[in-house]
Every structure is written in C-alpha cells, then in structure tokens.
C-alpha cells in the first residue's frame, strides 16, 4: 500500500471517530432545551457527556493535523475556500465548551438559561455545517488551475450540500437521543426514546435521499453497498429503540454514521478536492501529498501513539459507563 493511500485511510478513520463520538455530543447539546423539563434534568443531560465531550474533540484536532501534515495542498485549499463555515464551526465549538464550563458557576436561572442557549446553538450549528462541508468536498467545488477555491460562501449552499447538512443535523439528534436513553433512567430515558423514534423517521427519509443522490453522483458499486448498509443500520437502530435495547440502538446509529462517512470518502478517493470547473484542476491524494520522507516519519508516529490514545479513551468510556438520573444530582451543588 502506498503511503498516500495509508494516510487517506487514516484520515477517514479519524473522521469516522470524530463524527460518531462528537455526533452524540452534538445531539445531546441540541436536546438540552427539548428533553429536559427543569434545571435538574438539564444537568442530567449535560452530565451524560460532561466527562467525554472534550476528549471526543481530540479526533477533530488530530484529523486536521494529519491533513495538514500528510496533504498540505488539500489543507490549504480546504481551509481557504471553506474559511467562513469552518470559522463558524470553530466559534460554535468554543462557545459550547465555555458554556459547559461556565453554566454552573452562578446559581442564577437567567445565567444558566443563557448558557443553555449557547450549548444548543453551539451544538446545532456544527452539526449542520459539518454535513454541508463534507458534502461539498465530495460533490466538488470551484477550484482553478492554481488549486485555489474561486467560489464564494453561497456556492457552498447548493442543494446537495444543504441536504447533507440536514442529514447530519437530524441523524445527530437521533444519535444523541439514543445516547441519552442509554445513559439515563426514569422519565428522561422514556422521552429520549420517543424523540429518537419521531426524529428518526425524518432523519431516515433524508438519509435515503442523500445516499441515493451520492450513489448516482459517484456511480461506484461500493458506494451503493456502503449506503445500503448504512440505511439498514439506521433502521436497525430504530427497531432496537422500539424494544428498548438502548445499547444495540446506539451501536447501530454509530455504525450508520461510520458507514456513511466511509461511503463519502470512498466516493472521493483518489481525489481529495474535486473541481467543478475542470477535471484537470482536481486535487488528488498524489498531487496534494507531502514528501515520501515526511509520510514515513508520520507513519511511525501514528503506529506508536494511535493505540495509546484509543486505549485511554476506551478506559474513559468504561469509567463513566453507568446510567444517571435526577436522583444522582444533589441540590445546591454548582456543577453543570
């Protein structure tokens, strides 16, 4: 296997990890104002992701760093062309992180309500824009002969990309609701299961349209196969929710998100940034990559440190695996 292919696969894996793990973070954040009926229940929801959300964001940092190091031309074109949406995502993530930390610093309903809004917006905006960005990368954007993006922000808001954004937004809502059902007890769990099924119908319909559009656009049998498997996994997650098997439902939504992500990257490869202007202007995994020596050094670093990171994060999830409810939230304690 060529090192450029190895690093393309590794970046795909990093995006899979980020979207699966941060996906339920976004979902829970958006549901703070929907599922919870009082401040104690909102604290329960936030505490389900409280020990995990910042570790989940590491996947994004590593994916961005790996892209910069392995495919600098891809990184440069992507971050210059998608500057505004990526800036909005970064701003939303910062606001959300601050909200998690500051929400419980004052015993004031107005203070907490404002930070709750920040959590909801800081979760919903990235959930939408990541779908828009990934769909544009696969579908193609205006790139000229200098490998520079020559479009504007509104060129990114094409029908296919907006559909991709709605898919990630709704699927993450379902993913988050199922995670809440998995991590809580009592009335919150019941409401989370009901909401997952309601939103799941809309998310499933949008996902099917997106998968079919992607399959037609890419025309590869493997893309169709991955899309069909993703749809089947999502249906299975709703079925598991109906019979209240929350663990299986969460694994199924995780599989669906992972399969759709792999579907997009399989459709993209060997390109990394297709040009909608001329096929000669396409950025590929070969013409956008670093030198062979750089890729060799990076590969050794990845082989050594990736298992360590995976083991540490797996341990974190194991430590915080138990369900929580309103009875676990003591009165008068200023925590998120």
For the chain, domain boundaries: 3-321
Least confident of 16-30, 37-51, 182-196, 249-263: 37-51
Coil vs helix vs strand at 38: coil
Tens-digit pLDDT profile for residues 64-117 = 999 998 999 999 888 888 888 999 999 999 999 999 888 888 888 888 899 999
Please report the pLDDT score of residue 89 as a whole number: 94
What is the C-alpha R_g of the chain? 20
Looking at domain 3-321, which CATH architecture does it have?
A: Up-down Bundle (1.20)
Which has the closest alpha carbon to 123: 181, 53, 59? 53
Phi, then psi, of 271 in degrees rounded to 5:
-75, 160
Phi, then psi, of 284 in degrees rounded to 5:
-115, 170
Give the C-alpha separation, 121 to 104, whole Å: 18
Tens-digit pLDDT profile for residues 281-314 = 888 888 888 888 889 998 888 888 888 888 888 8
Least confident of 23-32, 49-58, 175-184, 239-248: 49-58
Burial of residue 306 (CB within 10 Å: 0-12, 13-18, 19+) is middle
pLDDT at 336 over 60: no
The predicted model scores a pTM of: 0.92
Instruction: Note whether 216 and 267 are within 8 A (CB).
Output: no
Give the C-alpha separation, 152 to 142, whole Å: 9
Instruction: Note whether 238 and 205 are within 8 A (CB).
Output: no
Phi, then psi, of 27 in degrees rounded to 5:
-60, -45
Q: How many other CB atoms are there within 10 angstroms of residue 107's CB atom?
A: 10
Coil vs helix vs strand at 284: strand
């Amino acid at each position: 296997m060529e090192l450029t292919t190895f690093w393309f696969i590794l970046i795909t894996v990093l995006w899979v990890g980020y979207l699966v793990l941060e996906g339920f973070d976004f979902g829970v954040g958006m549901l703070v104002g929907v599922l919870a009926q009082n401040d104690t229940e909102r604290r329960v929801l936030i505490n389900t992701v409280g020990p995990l959300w910042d570790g989940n964001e590491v996947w994004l940092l590593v994916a961005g760093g790996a892209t910069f190091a392995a495919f600098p031309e891809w990184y440069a074109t992507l971050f210059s062309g998608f500057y505004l949406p990526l800036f909005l995502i970064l701003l939303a993530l910062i606001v959300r992180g601050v909200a998690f930390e500051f929400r419980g610093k004052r015993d004031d309903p107005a203070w907490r309500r404002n930070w709750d809004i920040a959590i909801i917006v800081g979760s919903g905006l990235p959930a939408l824009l990541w779908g828009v960005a990934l769909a544009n990368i696969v579908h193609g954007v205006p790139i000229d002969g200098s490998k520079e993006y020559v479009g504007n922000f509104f060129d990114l808001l094409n029908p296919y990309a907006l559909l991709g954004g709605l898919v990630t937004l709704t699927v993450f809502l379902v993913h988050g609701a199922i995670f809440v059902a998995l991590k809580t007890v009592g009335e919150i769990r019941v409401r989370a299961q009901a909401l997952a099924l309601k939103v799941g119908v809309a998310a499933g319909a949008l996902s099917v349209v997106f998968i079919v559009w992607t399959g037609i656009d890419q025309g590869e049998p493997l893309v169709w196969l991955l899309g069909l498997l993703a749809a089947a996994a999502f249906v299975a997650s709703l079925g598991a929710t109906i019979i209240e098997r929350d663990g299986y439902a969460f694994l199924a939504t995780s599989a669906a998100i992972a399969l759709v992500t792999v579907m997009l990257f399989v459709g993209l490869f060997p390109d990394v940034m297709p040009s909608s202007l001329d096929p000669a202007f396409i950025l590929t995994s070969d013409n956008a990559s670093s030198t062979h020596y750089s890729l060799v050094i990076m590969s050794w670093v990845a082989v050594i440190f990736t298992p360590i990171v995976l083991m540490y994060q797996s341990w974190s999830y194991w430590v915080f695996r138990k369900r929580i409810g309103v009875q676990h939230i003591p009165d008068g304690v200023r925590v998120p």
